[in-house]
Amino acid sequence: MSDDCIFCKIVNGTIPAKKIYEDEDVIAFNDINPSARVHFLIVPKLHIESLASCEAQHQALLGKMLLLAPKLAKEQGLAGFKTLINTGKDGGQLVFHIHIHVLGGGNAPLKV
């Protein structure tokens, strides 16, 4: 956990979020600034700064997160969806705690 990380604060319950899933390893919640009709984040409870910071020991966690995306997308009513992982400042990452954006719904183009 990182004391100044907003996602760590959501994980430990000091900042509220509209959760759609939680288990011992990950949490998923609606994005507070959605870019699509359905836009949620899948976040590991373990603080990892970015995809570039991941190592072999994170392989199972990353796989779990990716396999969770279609399950939660279907539960949110999506037949199709987009996944996105911003990595590093130059890659558009704003919160430096790895997370997967899952977006979809409607016919409008997805803006991310």
Residues with a known catalytic role: 99
Those residues of the chain that have pLDDT short of 70 are 106-112
Per-residue pLDDT at 109: 55
Mean pLDDT of the chain: 94
**Tokens (6 digits) for 58:** 């994170």
Q: Quote the CA–CA distance of 35 and 16 in Å, as a whole number.
A: 20
**What are the tens digits of pLDDT across the range 62-75?**
999 999 999 999 99
CA distances from 10 to 14, 66, 84 (A): 6, 20, 20
Domains of the chain as residue ranges with CATH: 6-104 (3.30.428.10)
Q: Give the global pTM.
A: 0.93
